[in-house]
Structure 1
Amino acid sequence: MTATNEQNEASSHVPPLIPTQNGTLELHDITIVDQTKLRKAISAAALGNAMEWFDFGVYGFVAYALGQVFFPSASPSVQMIAALGTFSVPFLVRPLGGVFFGILGDRFGRQKVLSTTIIIMALSTFCIGLIPSYNSIGIWAPLLLLLCKLAQGFSVGGEYTGAAIFVAEYSPDRQRGFLGSFLDFGSICGFVLGAGIVVLLENIMGSAHFLSWGWRIPFFLAAPLGLLGLYLRHAAEETPAFQKHLDMMEKEEQEEVSSRPRVSFMEIMRRFWRTLLVSVGLVLTTNITYYMLLTYMPSYLSHNLHYGEDRGVLIIIAIMIGMMFMQPIIGFVSDKIGRKPFVIGGSVALLVLAIPCFQLITSGKVGLIFLGLFILALILNCFTGVMASTLPALFPTRIRYSALASAFNIAIIVAGLTPTIAATLVDATNNLFIPAYNLMVVGGIGIVTGIYLKETANRPLRGVSPSASNKKEARELLAETYEHIEQSVDDIDAAIANLQEQIQELEKRKQQYIDLHPKME
């Protein structure tokens, strides 16, 4: 092992440096989380995320209707691909929104940015319901639809990452996995609500009336949901971690701190490229599986397997309800055993079980279809249950929002194309197992990501003092932190001793070479 590797190995055991007032970590340096503020933060973040996925759920379940309304002259297959393509195109602007809102979030705070993103998201979703059909205004109809989806994509670029950071920075260290899991619990709720409303309206109105005007109603519901989310986010206070970050800037005025960028994007890429790659890998693994199962599968069941639309939708809704119950359980268990086992275990399961699951899905038997989808849903829970608590812990506070938003939304460009790519390939090849092959590739990415992922469970966020839910837990965390420090000092001492031995050995070898040369002394 080289000296550099020795140093890297030693440094990998060292916990991130924790800012303190007097240089010594004491009990008062540990943040005691206010439970009332914590509940407000969880509610505000989860509801905004639910609204984001409410739109995705509605859009995925009415894609067939949107195809007929906005692309009436195309064949059914092209209509489906065009509607899903309109769903995917906004993902191209999400990195722009991620960088924009990420910089603002690191300058002015998380709460202000999240209040802004939910307004844009609610308005753009509401406006989709106002767009006339192609038969009324021609090409302007799909163009206006695309414009609304682009606005959604820009706002969503800062939504999920900001909400995940908001929850992570509020959560006690020992509960971050459990509390963070409610963020994707909210997204699944949004999906279930969107899908349930679509099914209810279709059954009440009938297919003809739903296709004529009823599809607009779910999009109109974004307005009251957005107002409720805005109220909750406006009532929530800034996260303790970000506030402490500002308070630590003793030599600078807070206004000056908030008016300038922290670190350029290029410097983030240079200094944190390994962490960025791990983040991208985790986001790809989670979201490609997510979009394949919850956005593409309703269309796959009805269009490719000729399964009754109502029955297929009900199966997906039942699957999502099951995921809702599993979500907090996996988050809770990850606080006990860590995040890595779920990332690696879920990825291995995806690689091994993707084809068997699609054999069940394509069997034509209701029970087997449900079983295949349910297995995929449990695998997806392994990722969604830990992603919101894992990603924010990978970056320090001062660049957390901008770095994470950049990595997340770069990966989302690829993940967001999942429904369109899957629909196009299945239609072109007539191979119903194309989605399974895609998921196997994703499983391979997840395995590599899990191997390089550093465990973050039960540890403070990078550069932040430990946080606890009460004083008793704070004392326990302080004792554990001292143990980590002592172990880190021992590891560094051992590394230094090894380096000194290597230096002595190199000095001996150097002298041997000198002795062989007549003109060197």
Structure 2
Amino acid sequence: MKKAIRFKRKPLNINDITIIDDHKLRKAIIAAALGNAMEWFDFGVYGFLAYVLGQVFFPDASPSIQVVAALATFSVPFLVRPLGGLVFGVLGDKLGRQKILSVTIIIMSLSTFCIGLIPSYATIGIFAPLLLLLAKLAQGFSIGGEYSGAAIFVAEYSPDRKRGFMGSWLDFGSIAGFLVGAGLVVLLSSILGEVKFQDWGWRIPFLFALPLGLIGLYLRHALDETPAFQQHTDKLDNNERTNIANPPQMTFKEIFTKYWKSLFVCVGLVIITNVTYYMLLTYMPSYLSHNLHYRADHGVLIIIAIMIGMLFVQPMIGLISDKIGRRPFIVVGSFGLLVLAYPAFMMINSDVIGLIFIGLLILAVLLNCFTGVMASILPAIFPTSIRYSALAISFNISVLIAGATPTVAAWLVEASGDLYMPAYYLMVVAVVGLVTGLKMNETANKPLRGATPAASDRSEAKEILSDHFDSIEQKVEDIEQQIDTLKKQRQDLVDQHPKLD
């Protein structure tokens, strides 16, 4: 029998720990967050303009059907997001994160800009909603690689002990983009008046996407590739590095077989986070104005106030997660959503402004529990070589489910006449989040999977190295105790047998 060859692993030393340049880290966060902000800028504008877009592009339908149709146009592009995730994910693992993120922001900004140029149904008939759908599909395709790539970009640039805090700024950008979009809608509608705003003023927010996209492209193009991806390419042998566009790749079957638990965690986290997100920030404005009959601008102002509060909570949760871990926030947030969703909607339906605000605030804080840690969890559960493709595909398949939330919620309320249907919807999703939180492994203060540790400076690198050696010593001690216990058990068995000694 041939004896297996054992290769001795080299001890980790101070030079193996990546020191992250603080200036480059800040630039990476701004560049990534800006693209994410633009994505949610469009979501915010679209969600708050659903009633106007319904009148512009679906004028022959009843008011209820107009809202559902406009929200359906919002949801349909999620069908192509997995395709975008597949294309950009594979390319991101081959060519690098920086190049792909430059492409996605170009497509995203141009498609959003084009929505502001589409003539109304009254002008070109059926071609108006078809062009709107085409623009939304282009958005969906680009967004398929945007969030996953941005989360990976920030995570691979971040020190291990600060990844939660740094990652939280990505969804800070989401909330800020949504807030700017909603605020712009309110500002323009108040300045122009309802008639002018519905006639042509609604186009202005979409046109803002082009200059925002150009700024984002400039910032992303000026950045270097992430340290983790550079390490990955450096490990390839000379032959592979000469053909870096075609490194050895895992098949999707191998990814599903080997990393099924990571895929499960990704799907669960994305569903709980994005269903809550779309319910609160995309569907609720229409719910308040259409179902509860508040003036559209009143509902918008309440949501804007809630979102401003979310901006302050978001980085705090990321910072605390670096101290106590990410899992507690997923578990507590999911359990809170399970038990508080119905009471929150009781307050929202109370017809008392103060209680409406508290009900929405409860949902917002619970949403912060997810958004504050998701961007730091997801990139950490896949190795560098497949991180972009595995995360982008699983993320966007999950978003495909979550993206139907505004449409399904609106339909459920219309079909049943029950204003508490959104609460039941959130309670069901909360169970998914709770199971995910209980099953996932903690990722806080650990290197990205398959990567060497990363530190802010050499002093922190020395601490990480010391902690690493302490961990090894503790594991060796635990193994020695297990060996002693096994020896005692063996001796007890030997003593009971006359022919063993």
TM-score interval, normalised by the smaller of the two chains: over 0.9
Q: Which amino acid in structure 1 is aligned with residue 45 of structure 2?
A: V
Q: Which amino acid in structure 2 is aligned with residue 88 of structure 1?
A: S
Q: Which amino acid in structure 2 is aligned with residue 282 of structure 1?
A: L
Q: Counterpart in 1 of 2:5?
A: none
Offset, 1:442: 1.3
Q: Counterpart in 2 of 1:275?
A: 262
Deviations along 1:126-165, one digit per CA (max 9) or x if unpaired, are 0111111111111111111111101100100000010000
Could you tell me how far apart the structure 2 residues matched to 1:64 and 1:288 are? Answer: 21
Asked whether the equivalents of residues 337 and 426 of structure 2 are also in contact (C-alpha less than 8 Å), the reply is yes
Choose which of 162, 165, 170 in structure 1 pairs with 2:157: 170
Q: Counterpart in 2 of 1:210?
A: 197
Q: Counterpart in 2 of 1:141?
A: 128
Asked whether the equivalents of residues 240 and 247 of structure 2 are also in contact (C-alpha less than 8 Å), the reply is no
Q: Counterpart in 2 of 1:302?
A: 289
The TM-score normalised by the length of structure 2 is 0.95
Is 2:243 the partner of 1:256?
yes
Deviations along 1:319-346, one digit per CA (max 9) or x if unpaired, are 0010001000000000000000000000
Q: Counterpart in 2 of 1:230?
A: 217
Could you tell me how far apart the structure 2 residues matched to 1:251 and 1:427 are? Answer: 62
SS of residue paired to 2:118: coil
Q: Which amino acid in structure 2 is aligned with residue 37 of structure 1?
A: K
Is 2:206 the partner of 1:219?
yes
Q: Counterpart in 1 of 2:4?
A: none
Offset, 1:265: 1.4
Offset, 1:248: 1.3
Is 2:104 the partner of 1:121?
no
Q: Which amino acid in structure 2 is aligned with residue 214 of structure 1?
A: G
Deviations along 1:31-84, one digit per CA (max 9) or x if unpaired, are 111011111100100001000100000000001011011100000010000000
Q: Counterpart in 2 of 1:105?
A: 92
Return 5+ residue gaps in structure 2 as ranges.
1-7
How many positions carry a matched residue from both structures? 492
Could you tell me how far apart the structure 2 residues matched to 1:85 and 1:34 are? Answer: 44
Deviations along 1:441-487, one digit per CA (max 9) or x if unpaired, are 11111110001110000111111111111111110000111122233
Which stretch shows the higher mean deviation, 494-503 or 193-202? 494-503
Alignment of 1:367-386 (within 5 A): 367-386=354-373
Q: Which amino acid in structure 1 is aligned with residue 251 of structure 2?
A: S
Which stretch shows the higher mean deviation, 416-425 or 242-251? 242-251
Could you tell me how far apart the structure 2 residues matched to 1:134 and 1:33 are? Answer: 53
Asked whether the equivalents of residues 285 and 296 of structure 2 are also in contact (C-alpha less than 8 Å), the reply is yes
Report the CA distance shift for 1:44/1:249 in structure 2 as closer, same or farther (over 3 A). Answer: same
SS of residue paired to 2:239: coil
Offset, 1:253: 3.6
Q: Counterpart in 2 of 1:460?
A: 447
SS of residue paired to 2:59: coil
Is 2:399 the partner of 1:450?
no
Report the CA distance shift for 1:461/1:491 in structure 2 as closer, same or farther (over 3 A). Answer: farther
Deviations along 1:289-346, one digit per CA (max 9) or x if unpaired, are 0000000000000000001111110000010010001000000000000000000000
Offset, 1:251: 4.5
Could you tell me how far apart the structure 2 residues matched to 1:447 and 1:22 are? Answer: 38
Offset, 1:262: 1.7
SS of residue paired to 1:258: coil
Is 2:301 the partner of 1:314?
yes
Could you tell me how far apart the structure 1 residues matched to 2:21 and 2:467 are? Answer: 22
Report the CA distance shift for 1:438/1:261 in structure 2 as closer, same or farther (over 3 A). Answer: farther
Is 2:47 the partner of 1:42?
no
Could you tell me how far apart the structure 2 residues matched to 1:119 and 1:490 are? Answer: 54
Deviations along 1:421-454, one digit per CA (max 9) or x if unpaired, are 0000001111000000011111111110001110
Q: Which amino acid in structure 2 is aligned with residue 241 of structure 1?
A: A
Q: Counterpart in 2 of 1:75?
A: 62
Could you tell me how far apart the structure 1 residues matched to 2:449 and 2:350 are? Answer: 48
Q: Which amino acid in structure 2 is aligned with residue 210 of structure 1?
A: F
SS of residue paired to 1:157: helix
Q: Which amino acid in structure 2 is aligned with residue 390 of structure 1?
A: I
Report the CA distance shift for 1:252/1:213 in structure 2 as closer, same or farther (over 3 A). Answer: same
Q: CA RMSD in A?
A: 2.2
The TM-score normalised by the length of structure 1 is 0.91
Report the CA distance shift for 1:504/1:70 in structure 2 as closer, same or farther (over 3 A). Answer: farther
Q: Counterpart in 2 of 1:7?
A: none
Could you tell me how far apart the structure 1 residues matched to 2:90 and 2:248 are? Answer: 7
Choose which of 414, 419, 423 in structure 1 pairs with 2:401: 414
Q: Which amino acid in structure 2 is aligned with residue 294 of structure 1?
A: L
Choose which of 407, 422, 437 in structure 2 pairs with 1:435: 422
Q: Counterpart in 2 of 1:56?
A: 43
Could you tell me how far apart the structure 2 residues matched to 1:503 and 1:279 are? Answer: 43
Q: Which amino acid in structure 2 is aligned with residue 211 of structure 1?
A: Q
Is 2:24 the partner of 1:24?
no
Choose which of 267, 282, 293 in structure 1 pairs with 2:280: 293
Choose which of 192, 195, 202 in structure 1 pairs with 2:182: 195
Offset, 1:502: 9.1
Could you tell me how far apart the structure 2 residues matched to 1:192 and 1:207 are? Answer: 21
Choose which of 314, 331, 338 in structure 1 pairs with 2:318: 331
